[in-house]
Structure formats: structure tokens, C-alpha cells
Amino acid sequence: MSVKMKVTLFLLQLSGFFGSGSAGKVLVWPVEFSHWLNLRIILDELVKKDHEVTVLIPSASFSYEVGNTSTTEFEKYPASLSMAEVEELFMDTIRKYVYELPKQSFCGYFLLFQELTWEDSKYFESLCKDVVFNKELMTKLQNSSFDVIVADPFIPCGDLLAEILKIPLVYSLRYFPGSTYEKYSGGLPLPPSYVPIAQSELSDRMTFMERVQNLIYVLSFDFWFQNFNEKRWNQFYSEVLGRPTTLSEMMGKADVWLIRTYWDLEFPHPVLPNFEYVGGLHCRPAKPLPKEIEDFVQSSGEHGVVVFSLGSMVGTLTEERANVIAAGLAQIPQKVLWRFEGKKPDTLGTNTRLYKWIPQNDLLGHPKTRAFITHGGTNGIYEAIYHGIPVVGIPLFGDQFDNIVHMKTKGAGVRVDFLTMSSTDLLHAVKTVTNDPSYKDNVMRLSRIHHDQPVKPLDRAVFWIEYVMRHKGAKHLRVAAHDLAWYQYYSLDVLGFLLACVVTVIFEIEDFIQSSGEHGVVVFSLGSIVGTLTEERANVIAAGLAQIPQKVLCRFEGKKPDTLGSNTRLYKWIPQNDLLGKHREMPET
């Protein structure tokens, strides 16, 4: 056997040894639709690296492509709700989020939001119960000896499974309403003075009244979280574990948080070592388009094309809104590729083609694409940033409003209101981003920021999951804030102690002053050079002061003088101005 062949066989054996040794077993607690589309990219990459991936999915689900992902194992568990019940719940909830919630006043918004999230939580809790109370399934999971659980905390339970199975936990999250999970469970510091709270629709450059508004949003979301969302889960978690616990405590045990945004889109704010920002991990270079779509794109000439998609919410359009949109698009010079389901709009222009599905990423990467009309989902926004395409935002619910605000603030897009926009409004918005070169320039700047990363987002996401598996957790990255009470976190106990000390000193000084009688007091201070006195000089001064009839308040540091009189008190600090002002008839040294 040749030397070359021997070396080749040795390297193959070596790679097999290390490959099998580093492969891990990953359990996944996912959330459907765009959440799943993003998480699936990470899971596919883990599978490529020889990790075993098992995804827990309910028997009634919409978007998990079980048949198309043979490399990933799907563990389907019986769900309490039927497919019809889940679909009815989903459509009713989406309708209220899209068509009713934006119309509410501030108070009405939170009342309806509370109602909707309460219904969501009932469904989410049923999913969790279907797993943790399924003895056969839990036994199987216990025996599988998973190395880590990767979960989307939008639906709680991944943290509970991690606790029961005694395995590390990695979260994948865009954000939770009011950033409550990130703050209370992750310990992320988010000062409301310059960090707009999630779903506030504010930028980081807030006016005074906007800061007032932001703080009110913070308090309102905190009240909702602690009194409605967390309260429900606290009771359930305590029941399952057989001991008192809280949702925040369980979620706070997460080893790493993978946040699905990055500093190209996100406003700067403090971060923690176990928070990793991996926005745009799903983005990739454009592939060639199907011939029929490519021919339509090429027929657009110098005007180019506009891509329009509302993502997974494509079926939520009413006939009236569809006709308004179609009429607006019919008036632009560009050709339009519109992802659409439902009755063909009567006002559809000859420049517009309808598709039940479009290769969105590949279209956005096409040189003839001029603009992207989007609902503002994080996945679509990042594809626009990746390829440098300005956006017209029509947000519907959730994180979409904030995403569009971020793009608008950075000069990379405009926003129109879904419920009130006219055809003219949409026409004007598209013309604005296609005719004003500043929008293209700004989104290209964001694109350059996105591409200028030392390690790609997907590689970083996979690295941290593998890191947690290698080290059996990452508790060394967890800040001590998790172990503090709220008053300790804000140092209120320390402030209270210091305040008590100051008050005690002031009262003691006041009592000493009053005890001076008709002679009054003398205030003695050498200012900031109080510590420069020699022992000999200090004794000379003390001896002199001991002979006067007044009481003396002396600012002093060092060894107590041997000649100190009973009429003199020493202090490291005195409220000098207040002493001189309150007793101005007394002599001063």
C-alpha cells in the first residue's frame, strides 16, 4: 500500500473518530410559521454537522414540513385540539390582531391585547400539557439522553422540558411583547430612556414625550406580564414540578439566547455575554429564477420589478383591501410579482402577476428588483437588507410594526397603514422609494454592515449551540442579576442604607447644635486638604478649640487628637453650606 493511500486512510479514520465524538443529540421545541422557517435553517446546519435533531410537533399543525426534511426526526405527539379547532383559533386571533387591535385607544389596546394573549396562552398551555403529561413520550425523551434543547420561548415549555430532562437550554427569539422575557428571564438591561420597548413603535432618538410614552408602555407591559401571562404559567409549572416556581425562574436558566436580529436593523443597547445576535442567518445569495418568472422580470425593461408579499399572512386580506392594493400597483411603471391567495382583485393591473408562492430571496437578489412591499416580518426584512432593496412596509401585527419603524428611521423604507391606506397612498409610497436614491443608498449601507461580520450569523448560531453541548451548559456566562431580588438589582437597599446614614448624621449634628445653648457652634473645615494635617498640628488645633465656650463641628480625617475637648465632634463629612446658612449668626472659623 502506498504512503499516500495510508495517509488518506489514517485521515479518514481520524475524521470519523472526531466526528462521532463531537456529534450531539438536539431536542427542539419550535413555533410555527416564520419562527419555524428561521429555526429550520439552524437545524439543517446542525444535521450537516452530524448532530441528531429531534423536533417535537403536535398532531395538529400547519407549517412543519415533515416529509421534506428527512434528515431531521419529527416526534409527533397527540394534541388536545383538532386541526379544525386550531385553524379556527388561529384565524380568529389573526383577524383581531390585524383588523381590531390597531383601531383601539391606548387602554383599549391593552385590554384587547390581554384578551388575545390569554386565549393564545390557553392554547400554548394545552400543547405543553400534551407533552409533559404524556408518560410514554416523556419516558422516551428521558431515555434518549439529549445534550441540549433548542426552543423558541414564544410558546413556553422548552424551559420546563429542560428542567425535567436536566439538559442545557438554548433559546431562539426575535423578541417578546414588551421585551419582558428578555428583561425578567434573560436579565437584559434595557433602559427606557433610550431603548424603545418592543412594540412601542418608537426609535432610540426619543423626544421627552416619547420617553414618557415609552415608560408608560414599559409599565403597562410589565403589569400585563406579571399579572396575566406569568401568573398563569407559574401555577402550571409549579404543578408539574411539584414545588413552587415561576416562569421567569425557569426561563432564566437558559444558557444562551440567540436573538434573530443584528445591529444593522437593531438600535444599539446593552447586551450580556450569553446573548448572541444572529439576524439574517437564513439569508443567502440569489439563485436563478424559474424560467416563467425570469421572463416576466426581464419584460420589465429599465423600470424593473416590485416584489410584494405578506408572508405567511398572505390569506388574511379582505376583498376590499386587495382591490385597494391592486389599484395602487396598477399605476406604477414597474412590473409587480405579488404573492397572493384568494379571489383575483377586480382592479388588478396588466403589470401585476399573482403567485401562490414566489422565490422571494432570489427575486430580492435580482438586479431588476427596485422595491419590496412587505408586511415587515423579520425574515423578509433581513432578505431586503441582505440584498440591498428598499421597502414599503404594510405592518399587520407583532414585531412587524417595530421592524418597519427601524427601517424607516434608518432611511431604508417607508410605511403605509394597512387599514386606512388608499390606492394613492400606496402609489406614492412605491414612487418614493423607487425615485428617491437616498432609500437605495441607505439600504445598501445597511447591507454592507450586515455583510461585514467576522463570522456569519448562521455559523455563530451553530457555534453557540455546539458550545453549550460541549460544556454541558454555559452558566459561566449567566450574570449574577438572576440571583438578586428586584430591590437589590436596582440597589434600592443600598440607597436606603446610605440615605439612613445621611439622615442619622444630620439628626445627630442637629442634636449637637441644639445642645450648644446660647453659645452656639463653630464650624471648622480645611476643605479637600483635610487629610494633610500632621499629628502635632492637629493636637495644637484641638487644644485651642477645647478652650472655647462654643460646641465645635470639625471636619477631620486621621488619628483622633489626644487634646480633643469634650465640646468638639469630628466628622469625615459635614453639610457645610447648610450649617453656615442655618446658623448664620454663629462665628465661623
Domain of 414, CATH number, reads 3.40.50.2000
Contact status, residue 123 vs residue 89, Cβ threshold 8 Å:
yes
Residues 407 and 553 in one domain: no
Q: What's the domain range around 521? A: 492-582
pLDDT at 18: 38
Residues 166 and 251 in one domain: yes
pLDDT at 19: 43
Sign of CA pseudo-dihedral 249, 76, 458, 154: negative
Residues 78 and 213 in one domain: yes
pLDDT at 12: 39
Contact status, residue 387 vs residue 282, Cβ threshold 8 Å:
no
Flag whether pLDDT at 20 surpasses 80.
no
Flag whether pLDDT at 324 surpasses 90.
yes
205-235 burial code (b ≥16 CB/10 A, e <16) = ebeeeeeebbeebbebbbebbbeebbebbbe
Residues 71 and 123 in one domain: yes
Reported as a pLDDT band with limits 50, 70 and 90, residue 529 is confident
Residue 312 is assigned to a structural domain of this protein: yes
Flag whether pLDDT at 227 surpasses 90.
no
In terms of Cα–Cα distance, which of 411, 370, 419 is closest to 394? 419
Q: Of all residues in the chain, what percent carry a pLDDT higher than 70?
A: 93
Which residue has better confidence, 311 or 354? Answer: 354
Average pLDDT over residues 434-451: 98
Q: Other C-beta atoms within 10 Å of 348: how many?
A: 20
List of residues 6+ apart from 96 with CB closer than 8 A: 112, 116
Residues 313 and 256 in one domain: no
pLDDT at 407: 98
What's the rounded Cα separation, in Å, for the pair 329 and 340? 14
Residues 535 and 513 in one domain: yes
pLDDT digits (tens, 9 = 90+) for 36-56: 999 999 999 999 999 999 999
Residue tagged 400597483 (cell numbers)? 329
What's the rounded Cα separation, in Å, for the pair 261 and 174? 7
The gap between the terminal CA atoms of the chain, to the nearest Å, is: 101
Average pLDDT over residues 209-234: 92
DSSP 400-468: HHHHHHHHHHTTSEEE--TTT--HHHHHHHHHHHHH-HHHHHHHHHHHHHHH--SS-HHHHHHHHHHHH
Tallying the residues shown for the chain, one arrives at 589
pLDDT digits (tens, 9 = 90+) for 468-483: 999 999 999 999 999 9
Q: DSSP letter for 226, please.
A: I
pLDDT at 70: 57
Pairing of strands 551-555, 256-259: unpaired
Residues 303 and 429 in one domain: yes
In terms of Cα–Cα distance, which of 419, 433, 380 is closest to 403? 380
Residue 332 is assigned to a structural domain of this protein: yes
pLDDT digits (tens, 9 = 90+) for 354-413: 999 999 999 999 999 999 999 999 999 999 999 999 999 999 999 999 999 999 999 999
Q: How many domains does one find in the chain?
A: 3
Residue 2 is assigned to a structural domain of this protein: no
Flag whether pLDDT at 8 surpasses 50.
no
Reported as a pLDDT band with limits 50, 70 and 90, residue 558 is confident
Residue 329 is assigned to a structural domain of this protein: yes
Lowest-confidence range among 156-160, 433-437, 555-559? 555-559
DSSP 121-177: HHHHHHHHHHHHT-HHHHHHHHHH--SEEEE-TTSTTHHHHHHHHT--EEEEES--G
Return the H-helix or E-strand segment holding 335.
Answer: strand 335-339
543 residue type, one letter: A
From residue 433, alpha-carbon distances to 335, 386, 411 in Å are 15, 17, 10
pLDDT digits (tens, 9 = 90+) for 121-169: 999 999 999 999 999 999 999 999 999 999 999 999 999 999 999 999 9
Flag whether pLDDT at 584 surpasses 80.
no
Phi, psi (5° rounding) for residue 372? -130, 115
Q: DSSP letter for 290, please.
A: P
What's the rounded Cα separation, in Å, for the pair 399 and 200? 10
In terms of Cα–Cα distance, which of 65, 58, 64, 63 is closest to 81? 58
Residues 210 and 127 in one domain: yes
pLDDT at 510: 86
Most distant pair of Cα atoms in the chain: their distance: 112
pLDDT digits (tens, 9 = 90+) for 327-367: 999 999 999 999 999 899 999 999 999 999 999 999 999 99
Helix (H, G, I), strand (E, B) or coil at 96: helix
Contact status, residue 383 vs residue 361, Cβ threshold 8 Å:
yes
Q: DSSP letter for 313, please.
A: G
Quote the pTM value.
0.87
pLDDT at 168: 99
Residue 124 is assigned to a structural domain of this protein: yes
Residues 232 and 124 in one domain: yes
Mean pLDDT (the chain) is 92
Residue tagged 455583510 (cell numbers)? 451
Flag whether pLDDT at 587 surpasses 60.
no
Phi, psi (5° rounding) for residue 391? -120, 150
Contact status, residue 52 vs residue 27, Cβ threshold 8 Å:
no
Return the H-helix or E-strand segment holding 553.
Answer: strand 551-555
pLDDT digits (tens, 9 = 90+) for 255-295: 999 999 999 999 999 999 999 999 999 999 999 999 999 99
Contact status, residue 471 vs residue 418, Cβ threshold 8 Å:
no
Q: DSSP letter for 296, please.
A: H
Residue 15 is assigned to a structural domain of this protein: no
Residue 47 is assigned to a structural domain of this protein: yes
Paired with 371 in beta bridges are 306
Reported as a pLDDT band with limits 50, 70 and 90, residue 531 is confident
Phi, psi (5° rounding) for residue 376? 95, 15
List of residues 6+ apart from 527 with CB closer than 8 A: none
DSSP 575-588: -HHHHHHHTTTS-B
Flag whether pLDDT at 66 surpasses 80.
no
Contact status, residue 544 vs residue 554, Cβ threshold 8 Å:
no
Flag whether pLDDT at 532 surpasses 80.
no
Return the H-helix or E-strand segment holding 308.
Answer: strand 305-309
Residues 301 and 326 in one domain: yes
From residue 355, alpha-carbon distances to 332, 352, 520 in Å are 19, 10, 92
Residue 18 is assigned to a structural domain of this protein: no
Pairing of strands 305-309, 335-339: parallel
Residues 476 and 418 in one domain: no
Helix (H, G, I), strand (E, B) or coil at 256: strand
Residues 217 and 119 in one domain: yes
C-alpha cell of residue 202: 418608537
